[in-house]
């Protein structure tokens, strides 16, 4: 059996394979509520055989959303529609996770196809979407042309920590199997732990302990509200790829500390900090971030997830087989082919007769295959 299709156990959760749907914002929610778009988008990946399906970044507070279209879990009324989605995904034998997020100074941003620039009066006119004030560890803006965020006070920080805990409780009620905290790509927690972005001189800044305190306290707050048998993941930017920025050694140290707060797995992405720095130097290529997952896995002695530019089944399989990571997460390739996991199972000779497909699809595809073979037209 190819390693990619070996089951994986993490706390009380059993995954049928190692293929995960990486969080992908759809910018399609209204006031944080999921709708039919999210149901259709996420369900495709369960039908497509992925072991674990993550939602997109889901705001723990309305003001912590990145865009007006983000999903949210800051109110009990968000639970019902998400529950419809988790129920269906689980009925197909896949597990389902939610990515909990706070955008910090990156909040109040336009959707990508509206420019990925700050929301302003034009959006109010065109879409009835108004800007709102963002906050972060610093008053440094996210980028040129962005407003200065409010420097968060002790009480703002405590509100965010409590909000992650409350959202975790709602995530449990909504039927999610796993939580991933979005602590990467210039979102709030990354803004705090990166030395380039955190210029505070209170207990939430300064040295490594100060800068990582928010991530650790968020983990503890979630664990207070999230069942013991359900796993908790953190997505980190394992390096800023910038001089004087966050490094892979910092990530190993953070992973160890997160583990002591009840975090089970580290999803290793990178970059995305924003700010007045040169473009990060990414060594982009197939599975280019898997080496970061490998370093954290070895250094912190805990499971990891590899993500980024993984699209060939053979490459995904090697990442697992070679012990670089325990899970792989795919995003864009799954948009292109939501049945990627099922096709990968066929390519890796794990499923040669469509037996892993839902019978309503697989029965027909297998029958067609046999007919084509008989006619000398199939493989």
Q: Map the footprint of ligand FMN across residues 266-295, applying CB under 6 A.
A: 269
CB of 131 to ligand FMN, least distance (A): 20
Is residue 332 within the footprint of ligand FMN (CB under 6 A)?
Answer: yes
| 3-state SS string for 130-189 | CCCCCEECCCCCCCCCCCCCEECCHHHHHHHHHHHHHHHHHHHHCCCCEEEEEECCCCHH
Q: Are 270 and 241 in contact (CB under 8 A)?
A: yes
3-state secondary structure at position 314:
helix
Is residue 177 within the footprint of ligand FMN (CB under 6 A)?
Answer: no
CB of 50 to ligand FMN, least distance (A): 12
CB of 353 to ligand FMN, least distance (A): 28
- 333, 337, 358, 362: residue in contact with ligand FMN (rule CB under 6 A): 333
Is residue 308 within the footprint of ligand FMN (CB under 6 A)?
Answer: yes
Is residue 233 within the footprint of ligand FMN (CB under 6 A)?
Answer: no
Distance CA 118, CA 145 (A): 8
Q: Map the footprint of ligand FMN across residues 189-228, applying CB under 6 A.
A: none
Choice between 82 and 205, CB closer to ligand FMN: 82
Helix (H) or strand (E) holding 307: strand 304-307
Choice between 241 and 354, CB closer to ligand FMN: 241
240, with CB counted inside 10 A (0-12, 13-18, 19+), is: buried
Is residue 109 within the footprint of ligand FMN (CB under 6 A)?
Answer: no
Q: At what angle do helices 154-173 and 208-225 cross, to 10 degrees?
A: 30
Choice between 286 and 362, CB closer to ligand FMN: 286
Go through 28-45 and write b for each residue having 16 or more CB atoms within 10 A of its CB, e for each that does not: bbeebebeeebbebbbbb
Is residue 40 within the footprint of ligand FMN (CB under 6 A)?
Answer: no
Choice between 186 and 205, CB closer to ligand FMN: 186
Choice between 56 and 129, CB closer to ligand FMN: 56
Is residue 234 within the footprint of ligand FMN (CB under 6 A)?
Answer: no
33 contact partners, CB below 8 Å, separation of at least 6: 71, 72, 77, 78, 81
Bridge partners (DSSP) of residue 304 are 266
Q: 297 to each of 91, 184, 255, 304, 354, how far by Cα in Å?
A: 31, 17, 9, 6, 34
Choice between 16 and 185, CB closer to ligand FMN: 185
Q: Which window, 85-93, 163-171, 178-186, 275-283, contacts ligand FMN (CB under 6 A)? A: 178-186
Is residue 24 within the footprint of ligand FMN (CB under 6 A)?
Answer: yes
Residue ranges binding ligand FMN (CB under 6 A): 22-25, 56-57, 99, 182, 184-185, 235, 269, 307-310, 330-333
């Amino acid at each position: 059996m190819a390693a990619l299709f070996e089951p994986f156990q993490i706390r009380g959760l059993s995954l049928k394979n190692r293929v995960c749907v990486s969080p992908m914002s759809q910018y399609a929610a209204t006031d944080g509520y999921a709708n039919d778009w999210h149901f259709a988008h996420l369900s495709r990946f369960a039908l497509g055989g992925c072991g674990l399906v993550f939602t997109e970044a889901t705001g723990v507070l309305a003001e912590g959303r990145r865009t007006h279209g983000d999903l949210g879990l800051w109110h009990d009324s968000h639970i019902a529609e998400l529950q419809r989605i988790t129920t269906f995904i689980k009925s197909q034998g896949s597990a389902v996770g939610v990515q909990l997020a706070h955008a910090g100074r990156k909040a109040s941003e336009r959707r990508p196809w509206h420019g990925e620039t700050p929301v302003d009066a034009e959006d109010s006119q065109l879409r009835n979407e108004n800007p709102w004030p963002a906050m972060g560890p610093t008053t440094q803006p996210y980028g040129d042309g962005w407003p200065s965020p409010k420097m968060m006070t002790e009480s703002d920080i405590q509100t965010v920590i409590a909000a992650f805990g409350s959202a975790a409780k709602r995530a449990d009620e909504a039927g999610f199997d796993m939580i991933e905290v979005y602590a990467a790509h210039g979102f709030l927690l990354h803004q705090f732990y990166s030395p380039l972005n955190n210029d505070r001189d209170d207990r939430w800044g300064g040295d490594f302990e100060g800068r990582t305190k928010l991530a650790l306290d968020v983990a503890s707050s979630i664990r207070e509200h999230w069942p013991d048998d359900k796993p908790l993941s953190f997505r980190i930017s394992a390096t800023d790829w910038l001089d004087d920025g966050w490094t892979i050694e910092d990530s190993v140290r953070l992973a160890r500390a997160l583990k002591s707060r009840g975090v089970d797995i580290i999803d290793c992405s990178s970059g995305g900090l924003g700010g007045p720095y040169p473009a990060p130097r990414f060594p982009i290529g197939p599975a280019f971030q898997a080496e970061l997952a490998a370093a954290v896995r070895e250094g912190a002695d805990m499971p990891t997830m590899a993500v980024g530019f993984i699209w060939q089944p053979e490459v995904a399989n090697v990442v697992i087989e070679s012990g670089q990571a325990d899970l792989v997460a795919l995003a864009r390739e799954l948009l292109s082919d939501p049945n990627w996991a099922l096709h990968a199972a066929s390519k890796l000779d794990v499923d040669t007769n469509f037996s892993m497909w839902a019978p309503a699809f697989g029965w027909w595809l297998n029958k067609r295959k046999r007919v084509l073979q008989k006619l000398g037209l199939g493989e």
